[in-house]
Chains A and B, each alone.
Chain A
Amino acid sequence: MEEEREGGGGKVRALIERATDSTQPDVDPRLLKAIKSLVRYSDSELRLAAHTLMEFMKRDHSQVRYLSLLIIDQLFMRSKLFRTLLVENLDQLLTLSVGFRRNQPLPAPPAVAALLRSKAIEYLEKWNSSFGIYYRRLRLGFYYLKNTLRFQFPNLQANAARLQQERRERERRSKEIVLNKFETLKENFQSIKEEMRLTVDEIGECLDIIRNGGEDSMLLDNLEDEEEIEEFRSSELRQIRHETLEEGKKVCENSENKVVFDALRELHKLLVTNHLVTIQEWISVLIRVEATDNRFRDSILKEFIDIRNHLISVKKKCEELGCALPRIANNEEEEDFWEEGKIGLNESRASHPRENEDIATASTSSELKNTTPGCSYKVPSGKKILECEGGRIESSSPRSKLLAEAPVMKWGSYLDSWGSKRDILANQRGLDLENHWGRVDYDAVIPAEKIAELNVQATVYKEEQLEIQPCHAPLHKGRLCQRRDLRVCPFHGLIIPRDDEGKPLDQNLSEDVITPDSGTDLAEQLAKQAIKNVRAKDKEVARKREIDQKSLKRAKLAKVRKHNEAVLRDAALASTSLSASAGEDMVATNSENASTRSNKQALASMLRKKVTAKDRIAQRLLNTRARDATVRQLTLDVDANYKEAFPNQW
């Protein structure tokens, strides 16, 4: 080992020493990388690293042990030789990292010691799962800690496996449920089909009755149609007329066909809320089931899809004919779902022509539990189909244009009397004092002008919400400043656009891009640029001069120092028999010691107690002393400055 250290080796030792000499919770990645690359190509270095790391594991400081353990893990997962070397001393390593022996507890600080233990246990589990087969000692150590000492291992792998198992179990169960449903469907298929057919038939009959009833008026309309066609030239007017005609075609509910309409309404409701939903459900079941006889499943599926399409067409017919129907049927129950339905709606409207197929195929992705969403989806889409059919014409209609322009009003009671210019009763409902019904005084009216005055719309100006960009200046921790200020960040100044790393994007560049566009003030831009260039050049020169001066000064200082050293050396030679080079060595070692000492202090600081409130109070009480101290410090500083300025004075 010694020879290796002499012969150019030992670099890894220094690296490890530096890497473990830190209070950070992680090893410096650059040092780690250096260690890895060094060790990768040299077995002797690797041996030395293993030896050194074990040595560091014995240090009486949990932080050093912790960092060493991190490095050990890195190398352990990579190098076979390292594994063989380390596994030989596994019990020692575990003693030092897990601290399972009562006579060898982990050293202070306790927080890091706890971290060290948990990490060590975690690593042991990881090592065991990946290399346990090849190393009996690894298995033995793991087994001992787990089964004899009953340490709690994080059980990462087992947990993952368990989750997997659970998921599989759930899937299996749901599959079973689906299969069961499929079985029941097999039995009930005919009855379901029959039931639906019955409803559809009834609806058809109802529709027939209604249609026959409305035939007379239709004829009338047709007559009028031909007469008036010439009168309305303007396309818009014609459009309106067309609409009204279509409207007129629809049979309205009256006392005669009220019974039929009621029945139709009932049937429609049954169709929408019951049959369509169940059929959707069955289709989703069929799609997901993994039955043994696929042929049967496919045939049923096909049949179901046909039935559904048929149902949808019937429903459409219903809604076309009795336009009042869906309102009643929907508004009560499906109001709540309306909003949700809208989301899916936009898509379905876009892909309208393919919709039916889409539903058939897309329902593969639909979930089992979406029976209610499915229903809510169904109804609006049905409505949309209606709208869209008229919508093709509508898109250019004045209504839609007006709609696009119309302002959005807030909801309020004034909407009741929107556009009306009537006088309004002051005591409209005959309410008297204390909620007793009283007389309505028909003379006491509020004139329309007054009402209009009262209903004048006052809107508050609402500022448009503007997203305030974060400052994004780089912080010294490596993250970006997340402060959001309008223009100026109190810590990083003016907020400017920055890239992902926090470097300011080049403003000039963007300006340059802009300038060609605004060609009018090109000259001005050029002038500005010129001024800037000149200034930059000036600055450059000034800086160079400064650097020159500094280097001159440094050279002078160096000369002086050299002279001083020579004097010292002479003196030393005169007093002792040491050679000049020995003196140099001493200086070097001294500086090294100083650096290590400072590091040690950093580590030692972890062992020190934290500052408590009591300490702080004490400090405040003793502030006068502190002030004295600062005064002294300042004078010392002045002295030091003086010495710096005139270093050649003895």
Chain B
Amino acid sequence: MWREIGDRETGKIRPNLFANRIKWNRIERLQLSDHKEIVTPHRGSINSLQVDLTEGRYLLSGASDASAAVFDVQRPTDYEGGGVIAKHNCIFSVDKQHEGGHRYAISSAIWYPVDTGLFITGSYDHHINVWDTNTTQVVMNFKMPGKVYKIAMSSLATSHMLIAAGTEDVQVRLCDIASGAFAHTLSGHRDGVMAVEWSTSSEWVLVTGGCDGAIRFWDIRRAGCFLVLDQSQSQLGRRPPILERFATNKVSISKSFLTSPSSFTKARPPKKLANGNGLKQSPIGKIPAKGPTRQRLHPGMLSSQDRATAHYGAVTGLKVTEDGMYLLSAGSDSRLRLWDVESGCNTLVNYETVRLQTSKPIQLATTQNSALVFVPCMTTMKAFDVWSGKTSLTFSGHYESVNCCWFNFHDQELYTGGNDRQILIWSPSRLVSDEVEEGFTQDQDHWSD
């Protein structure tokens, strides 16, 4: 570490690189924090965790006892054991007794991405509530046709305020906070939808994973889905080689490629609607707006294509990487799959998962540079290398299944919540000097004989 600081001082490494290295070192040393703990007011399993996107400071948790709570993860509320243990009590919590509170388990709780003034909870009592953080009052309420499994808001959105909600129902609904009504109803799934995720590269693209095992991509500006991921369509490695891409890319919209493969496209019916063009990266959002070919692709998509599945069984978790180029999906077949969003191919990375929870949606997390993915594997958390699928870290501390996790980029901390009603903080282990400073007087060897 000192060497790196020296390098930075002499200008050998650039600030970005330096920061990333430090962060990486810290991430590698993640372990159960001895000195920081969250005191949960929840009396049920924790289903959802999210740190707000604006300050990176307030952790929102939703639990099965129909309660949601907000914690300040940076400033502890009190100390214990002579200042050794910092305790984070919740700043406030809302539960059943609260006016307009949920009656059944909260399955998903998210912050309004723009600021911390609002947060949204989705519950098994068929409702989605929008809360004012400061008054802890319900300001808006959406009645859904079934249990709400998962809600999501786009962190990029500048032109809409839509909550995408995956429910028991086959249709995915978009709730507009601005108007207080349903803006869209996306139908295509043949079973409930457990996972909903907005694209991180386009504000119009929504990814949903259903209990029917399908992962669908939607452009919310037009009806129908434009892409269904198929686990049998695979590519090796991170990107298909260029030559092969010429052959496989049936639809290429970018102007440079438009001339030659267009005839190709017509000759063969589009089997896969990937729009991969590696060199000139165009955001996915723009794609549907382009050529007239797009128009044909849905709803008249071939039925075989429409029936493609990404997992055997239900899709329980989705996570788009920070750069929006890859999608990670977890299924009840205990598999984790990495998809190339552009080509829509399964990259065939074999993650060393042992078993994944099947009955509940799980929440995945990635590091900022998409090097690691954190996955709840029953009672343990595992961190896999995204590209090789090797297990790099294992976190075991929960006594029952882990449901959700959130990785805090700023502090390089991981928060996990599980069925044992605990929210655990995993933080980089402290340096030795810190420990010495604190003076571990009590915790010493004590041999009487």
Which residues of A are in contact with B by a Cβ distance under 8 Å?
33, 36-37, 40, 77-81, 83, 91, 130-131, 133-137, 139-141, 143-144, 147-148
Out of A40, A135, A137, A148, name the residue touching B447 (CB < 8 Å).
A40
Which 6 residue pairs are nearest across A and B when measured between Cβ atoms?
A133-B81, A134-B443, A144-B399, A136-B34, A78-B447, A80-B445
Provide the B19-59 mask, 1 if CB < 8 A to any CB of A, else 0.
00000000000001110010000000000000000000000
Which residues of chain B are near A140, meaning CB under 8 Å? 397, 399, 422, 424
Task: Give the A-B contact count at a CB cut-off of 8 A.
Answer: 58
In the complex, A33 Cα to B448 Cα: how many Å? Answer: 11
Which residues of chain A are near B379, meaning CB under 8 Å? 91
Kindly report which residue of chain B lies nearest to residue A36, judged by CB atoms: B449
B396 within 8 A of A: yes
In the complex, A416 Cα to B337 Cα: how many Å? Answer: 115
Q: Are A136 and B32 in contact (CB under 8 A)?
A: yes
Which residues of chain A are near B447, meaning CB under 8 Å? 36, 40, 78-79
Which residues of chain B are near A40, meaning CB under 8 Å? 447
Minimum CB–CB distance from B381 to chain A (whole Å) comes to 13
Which residues of chain B are near A133, meaning CB under 8 Å? 80-82, 84-85, 442-443
Minimum CB–CB distance from B133 to chain A (whole Å) comes to 28
Which residues of chain A are near B449, meaning CB under 8 Å? 33, 36-37
In the complex, A148 Cα to B442 Cα: how many Å? Answer: 29
B421 within 8 A of A: yes
B16 within 8 A of A: no
Out of B84, B442, B445, name the residue touching A79 (CB < 8 Å).
B445
Provide the B81-106 mask, 1 if CB < 8 A to any CB of A, else 0.
11011000000000000000000000
Provide the B406-449 mask, 1 if CB < 8 A to any CB of A, else 0.
00000000000000111010000000000000001011111111
25 contacts between A and B (CB under 8 A): A36-B449, A37-B449, A77-B446, A78-B446, A78-B448, A79-B447, A80-B444, A81-B445, A91-B396, A91-B397, A131-B442, A131-B443, A133-B84, A134-B34, A134-B84, A134-B440, A134-B442, A136-B33, A136-B37, A136-B397, A137-B32, A137-B397, A140-B424, A143-B422, A144-B420
Out of B32, B396, B421, name the residue touching A148 (CB < 8 Å).
B421
Which bucket holds chain B's interface residue count?
Answer: 20 to 34
Minimum CB–CB distance from B383 to chain A (whole Å) comes to 17
Which residues of chain B are near A148, meaning CB under 8 Å? 399, 420-421
Kindly report which residue of chain A lies nearest to residue B424, judged by CB atoms: A140
Q: Are B420 and A80 in contact (CB under 8 A)?
A: no
Minimum CB–CB distance from A598 to chain B (whole Å) comes to 31
In the complex, A37 Cα to B397 Cα: how many Å? Answer: 32
Which residues of chain B are near A147, meaning CB under 8 Å? 421
Task: Tell me the B52-89 residues at the A interface (CB within 8 Å).
Answer: 80-82, 84-85
In the complex, A136 Cα to B34 Cα: how many Å? Answer: 5
Which residues of chain A are near B33, meaning CB under 8 Å? 136
In the complex, A148 Cα to B64 Cα: how many Å? Answer: 14
Which residues of chain A are near B445, meaning CB under 8 Å? 78-81
Which residues of chain B are near A33, meaning CB under 8 Å? 449
Which residues of chain A are near B444, meaning CB under 8 Å? 80
In the complex, A143 Cα to B80 Cα: how many Å? Answer: 15
Kindly report which residue of chain A lies nearest to residue B37, judged by CB atoms: A136
Minimum CB–CB distance from A551 to chain B (whole Å) comes to 40
Q: Are A91 and B443 in contact (CB under 8 A)?
A: no
Which residues of chain A are near B421, meaning CB under 8 Å? 147-148
Minimum CB–CB distance from A101 to chain B (whole Å) comes to 9
Kindly report which residue of chain B lies nearest to residue A37, judged by CB atoms: B449
In the complex, A40 Cα to B399 Cα: how many Å? Answer: 32
In the complex, A135 Cα to B37 Cα: how many Å? Answer: 12
Minimum CB–CB distance from B368 to chain A (whole Å) comes to 26
Sample of 9 further A-B pairs with CB below 8 A, known A79-B447, A148-B420: A40-B447, A78-B445, A78-B446, A130-B442, A133-B80, A135-B34, A136-B34, A136-B37, A144-B399
In the complex, A369 Cα to B366 Cα: how many Å? Answer: 74
Minimum CB–CB distance from A355 to chain B (whole Å) comes to 52
Which residues of chain A are near B448, meaning CB under 8 Å? 78
Minimum CB–CB distance from B428 to chain A (whole Å) comes to 14
Minimum CB–CB distance from A142 to chain B (whole Å) comes to 11
Provide the B349-369 mask, 1 if CB < 8 A to any CB of A, else 0.
000000000000000000000
Which residues of chain B are near A134, meaning CB under 8 Å? 34, 84, 440, 442-443
Minimum CB–CB distance from A231 to chain B (whole Å) comes to 86
Which residues of chain A are near B422, meaning CB under 8 Å? 140, 143-144
Minimum CB–CB distance from B113 to chain A (whole Å) comes to 32
Which residues of chain B are near A137, meaning CB under 8 Å? 32, 397
Most buried by A among B440, B445, B448: B445
Which residues of chain B are near A77, meaning CB under 8 Å? 446
In the complex, A141 Cα to B422 Cα: how many Å? Answer: 11
Out of B32, B424, B443, name the residue touching A80 (CB < 8 Å).
B443
In the complex, A613 Cα to B449 Cα: how many Å? Answer: 48
In the complex, A211 Cα to B406 Cα: how many Å? Answer: 105
Most buried by B among A37, A130, A134, A136: A136
Minimum CB–CB distance from A157 to chain B (whole Å) comes to 15
- Given contacts A78-B446, A136-B37, A91 and B399 within 8 Å (CB-CB): yes
Minimum CB–CB distance from B67 to chain A (whole Å) comes to 16
Provide the B392-410 mask, 1 if CB < 8 A to any CB of A, else 0.
0000110100000000000
In the complex, A555 Cα to B357 Cα: how many Å? Answer: 72
Minimum CB–CB distance from A49 to chain B (whole Å) comes to 14
Minimum CB–CB distance from B137 to chain A (whole Å) comes to 30
Most buried by A among B85, B399, B440, B446: B399
Which residues of chain B are near A136, meaning CB under 8 Å? 32-34, 37, 397
In the complex, A133 Cα to B399 Cα: how many Å? Answer: 19
Which residues of chain A are near B442, meaning CB under 8 Å? 130-131, 133-134
In the complex, A78 Cα to B443 Cα: how many Å? Answer: 10
In the complex, A36 Cα to B81 Cα: how many Å? Answer: 30
Which residues of chain B are near A80, meaning CB under 8 Å? 443-445
Which residues of chain B are near A91, meaning CB under 8 Å? 379, 396-397, 399
Minimum CB–CB distance from A478 to chain B (whole Å) comes to 21
Kindly report which residue of chain B lies nearest to residue A32, judged by CB atoms: B449
In the complex, A383 Cα to B397 Cα: how many Å? Answer: 79
Minimum CB–CB distance from A73 to chain B (whole Å) comes to 13
Which residues of chain A are near B420, meaning CB under 8 Å? 144, 148
Minimum CB–CB distance from A335 to chain B (whole Å) comes to 60
Task: Tell me the B298-342 residues at the A interface (CB within 8 Å).
Answer: none
In the complex, A136 Cα to B421 Cα: how many Å? Answer: 15
In the complex, A148 Cα to B449 Cα: how many Å? Answer: 38
Which residues of chain A are near B424, meaning CB under 8 Å? 140
In the complex, A83 Cα to B442 Cα: how many Å? Answer: 13
Minimum CB–CB distance from B403 to chain A (whole Å) comes to 15
In the complex, A383 Cα to B447 Cα: how many Å? Answer: 64
In the complex, A144 Cα to B82 Cα: how many Å? Answer: 23
Minimum CB–CB distance from A189 to chain B (whole Å) comes to 52
In the complex, A41 Cα to B440 Cα: how many Å? Answer: 21
Minimum CB–CB distance from B435 to chain A (whole Å) comes to 10
Kindly report which residue of chain A lies nearest to residue B396, judged by CB atoms: A91
In the complex, A131 Cα to B445 Cα: how many Å? Answer: 12
In the complex, A136 Cα to B32 Cα: how many Å? Answer: 7
In the complex, A81 Cα to B397 Cα: how many Å? Answer: 19
In the complex, A133 Cα to B438 Cα: how many Å? Answer: 13
In the complex, A77 Cα to B442 Cα: how many Å? Answer: 12
In the complex, A144 Cα to B420 Cα: how many Å? Answer: 7
Kindly report which residue of chain A lies nearest to residue B82, judged by CB atoms: A133
Which residues of chain B are near A83, meaning CB under 8 Å? 443
Minimum CB–CB distance from A40 to chain B (whole Å) comes to 5
Minimum CB–CB distance from B38 to chain A (whole Å) comes to 11
Kindly report which residue of chain A lies nearest to residue B32, judged by CB atoms: A136
Minimum CB–CB distance from B443 to chain A (whole Å) comes to 4
Kindly report which residue of chain A lies nearest to residue B399, judged by CB atoms: A144
Kindly report which residue of chain B lies nearest to residue A132, judged by CB atoms: B81
Minimum CB–CB distance from A500 to chain B (whole Å) comes to 24
Which residues of chain A are near B84, meaning CB under 8 Å? 133-134
In the complex, A277 Cα to B35 Cα: how many Å? Answer: 63
Provide the B367-400 mask, 1 if CB < 8 A to any CB of A, else 0.
0000000000001000000000000000011010
In the complex, A135 Cα to B447 Cα: how many Å? Answer: 20
